[in-house]
Amino acid sequence: MSPSTTVLATTPVAGRTKVLSDRSDGSRWAYLGVPPQADRQRPLPLVLDLHGYSEGADVHLQFTKMEDLGRAKGFMVLTPNGSGEVPFWNSFGQPAPDDVAYLTGLVDQVAASECVDRNRVYVAGMSNGAFMTSLLACRRPAVFAAAVAVAGLQFPDGCADGPPVPVMAVHGTDDDYVRYEGGFGDGVRTLGVDPAMATTAGRNLSVPDAAEAWAGRNRCTPNSTPKVNKVASDVELMEWKGCAAPVQLYVVNGGGHSWPGSEFSANLPDVVGRTTMTVDATELAWEFFEAHPRRSGDQN
């Protein structure tokens, strides 16, 4: 946690409990949603929920409705805002800002003021937030018990020899921003990003190949073919076998750069493409998290 970290508000803001900042000018902040049943005596799970490039925390709350599910299921949700006028997460290997340190510091800050179960701290993200989720799972497996990447699973450099981390991904085959086949699509031009940047940023790995790389890290059965089950009319689940920690990939056939099950996402077809409503990525994420707390004796 940065020495300059301050709490800007301790009363509910827009139905949330706090707005946090790690700078005195308030330029970096996060919403923290605490379910009404929290009693500060029983440790609760915490989900770090990361927005996509340019999206920001306020829009992301509408995409995922993770806070609503947290209130119903009894887990806390930390929804931070990225840095810059166009908010983003530095998942691209640039020296600053150090968002790995920033985000793990936010988790520490919440754990210092709320009753958090440190064995049930999770991270989920969309697009650039999914890139950051992948990086946090790679760099901070001692902090995050499991990770869910929607529309942007990555296998960052330097992850091959790390300890296993449960990983779930969701991705549409018609994603025109982060292509299922690897690289960036033409949709990123609307964000002011050249698709050719994918080459220099190491984004050319296909989504199944990224999942396969996580399967290698998670010590799944070598060279095994993932099991494929149809879970909805347009969704297949790929699961790798014999893993020290599970790896799952939900493939949305014809899906865009979207958050499945989100009415907000479904209302933006001209922006994100098709959003399937046959599965709900928020509910799938929580089911995955709930099934994978950190066990005593897990290697971190």
pLDDT (tens digit per residue) in 74-89: 999 999 999 988 999 9
Under 8 Å between Cβ of 269 and 275: yes
Residues 44, 76, 73, 260: is their CA dihedral positive or negative? negative
State residue 40's pLDDT score: 74
Residue 2, pLDDT > 50, answer no
Q: How far apart are alpha carbons 19 and 157 in whole angstroms?
A: 33
With b for 16 or more beta-carbon neighbours within 10 A and e for fewer, the 151-179 pattern comes to bbbbbbeebeebebbbbbbbbbbbbbbbb
Q: How far apart are alpha carbons 155 and 132 in whole angstroms?
A: 11
Q: How far apart are alpha carbons 229 and 24 in whole angstroms?
A: 50
**Tokens 């840095």 identify what position?**
83
Beta-carbon count within 10 A of 263 CB: 12
Residue 142, pLDDT > 70, answer yes
Residue 115, pLDDT > 80, answer yes
Residue 222, pLDDT > 50, answer yes
Residue 53, pLDDT > 90, answer yes
User: Average pLDDT of 59-73?
Assistant: 95
Per CATH, the number for 6-291 is 3.40.50.1820
Q: How confident is the model at residue 8 (pLDDT cuts 50, 70, 90)?
A: very low
User: Which segments of the chain are extended strands (E)?
Assistant: 6-9, 18-21, 29-33, 44-50, 76-80, 116-126, 146-150, 167-172, 227-232, 235-239, 247-252
The whole-chain average pLDDT of the chain stands at 89
Residue 157, pLDDT > 60, answer yes
Q: Amino acid identity, residue 2?
A: S
User: Average pLDDT of 13-38?
Assistant: 73
Higher pLDDT, 187 or 69: 69
Ordered alpha helix ranges (H), the chain: 56-64, 66-73, 99-113, 128-139, 197-200, 207-217, 263-266, 269-272, 281-291
Q: How confident is the model at residue 190 (pLDDT cuts 50, 70, 90)?
A: confident
State residue 145's pLDDT score: 98
**How many CA atoms within 13 Å lie on the side-chain side of 278?**
17
pTM to 2 decimals? 0.92
Higher pLDDT, 65 or 300: 65
**Residue extents of the structural domains in the chain:** 6-291
State residue 27's pLDDT score: 75
Torsion of CA 37, 40, 45, 49, to 10 degrees: 80
Q: How confident is the model at residue 203 (pLDDT cuts 50, 70, 90)?
A: low
Q: How far apart are alpha carbons 57 and 60 in whole angstroms?
A: 5
Kindly report the backbone phi and psi dihedral angles of residue 115, in degrees, each rounded to the nearest multiple of 5, phi listed first: -90, 90
Residue 116, pLDDT > 90, answer yes
